[in-house]
Amino acid sequence: MPEKTVMAPEDIRRTLARIAHETIERNKAIEHLILVGMRTRGVPLAKRLTANIEDFTELKIPVGALDITPYRDDLTSLNVQPLVKCTDIPVKIDDKSIILVDDVLYTGRSTRAAMDALIDLGRPRSIQLAVLIDRGHRELPIRADYVGKNIPSSRDEEIQVRLVETDGIDEVTITSVADNKPLRSELKKASTFKRSYYDSDK
């Protein structure tokens, strides 16, 4: 399956404007709101949403960046040590309404890790979730409060969000990764062997 564009720049712009309006309608106390983007592409999305909300309400909304790397539940199965980036939230989150922002909601495990990271920083009044794309295949009971676009997909397909800030272009594409199955299978077997080797030393 060749790469197919499912969202163009104008689609992303309109979608973020809609999510901003939905955020304002749901959160009457906008002054208690903080938007927190999950690295990497959740950060520019959070900044764009914040700019839209400020345009519509003329209120300044804090925006931060969250690195969930230390909270991921797959670190022991990775063959390489992931790069830890910085978390930067400019205000205290206690008793604030937090909106986590991410590009794609898939299994829900990244969102769970993000909530763990936030709770380590304070005790927010509430945590909501905004995503540009919801592709399904949830493994945890997590649901987004704001969804830009639902894109039903198979696990053999890859959804790629590209943004001007990180990739030089605004677009969302979907493509098949079935051709990479043999490679993925070998990586999985290598990871299983590695765990079995270390487990045998215990």
Residue 116 located in a structural domain: yes
Residue 171 located in a structural domain: no
Residue 73 located in a structural domain: yes
Residue 163 located in a structural domain: no
Identify which of 100, 94, 90 has the alpha carbon closest to the alpha carbon of residue 124: 94
Indicate the pairing of strand 4-7 with strand 171-176.
antiparallel
CATH code assigned at 47: 3.40.50.2020
Residue 175 located in a structural domain: no
Residue 180 located in a structural domain: no
Q: What is the 3-state secondary structure (H, E, C) of the chain?
A: CCCEEEECHHHHHHHHHHHHHHHHHHCCCHHHEEEEEECCCHHHHHHHHHHHHHHHHCCCCCEEEECCHHHCCCHHHCCCCCCCCCCECCCCCCCCEEEEEEEEECCCHHHHHHHHHHHHHCCCCEEEEEEEEECCCCCCCCCCCEEEEECCCCCCEEEEEECHHHHCCCEEEEEECHHHHHHHHHHHHHHHHHHHHHHCCC
pLDDT tens, residue by residue, 21-60: 999 999 988 999 999 999 999 999 999 999 999 999 999 9
pLDDT of 149: 98
User: Whole domain around residue 27: which residue ranges?
Assistant: 8-155
pLDDT tens, residue by residue, 105-139: 999 999 999 999 999 999 999 999 999 999 999 99
pTM to 2 decimal places: 0.83
Residue 187 located in a structural domain: no
- The total domain count for the chain is 1
Residue 13 located in a structural domain: yes
Residues 6+ apart with CB under 8 A from 136: 106, 150, 152, 153
The share of the chain scoring above pLDDT 70, in percent, equals 81
